[in-house]
Amino acid sequence: MNRSELVAALSERAEVTRKDADAVLAAFAEIVGEVVAKGDEKVTIPGFLTFERTHRAARTARNPQTGEPIQIAAGYSAKVSAGSKLKEAAKGA
């Protein structure tokens, strides 16, 4: 399902216009992005998803072409965890 299909499904299920559903989806994505970028808290939709920022430590890796060790700087990444209801839905229950 792509974004336009999701917007259509949301508008049908919530009985709102596609424009309103698209605005809500855009606002949701923006808010989640802002909270994750700050990194001081996580966004949780109970039973469905959790979004959070995690720290990745600096590490040494190898260049696959030369085998030469290279340093990879510390950084941050986004972590998305599935909740219990989403896991059950994925099992086909």
Over residues 17-35, the pLDDT tens digits come to 999 999 999 999 999 999 9
DSSP string, 69-86: EEEE--EEEEEEEE-HHH
pLDDT digits (tens, 9 = 90+) for 36-90: 999 889 999 999 999 999 999 999 999 999 999 999 999 999 999 999 999 999 9
| pLDDT above 70 (res 93) | no
* Residue 42 · residue 51 · CB < 8 Å: yes
Report the C-alpha gap between 85 and 54 in whole angstroms.
23
If one counts every other C-beta atom within 10 angstroms of the C-beta of residue 21, the result is: 20
pTM of the full structure: 0.76
Report the C-alpha gap between 42 and 36 in whole angstroms.
7
* Residue 22 · residue 7 · CB < 8 Å: yes
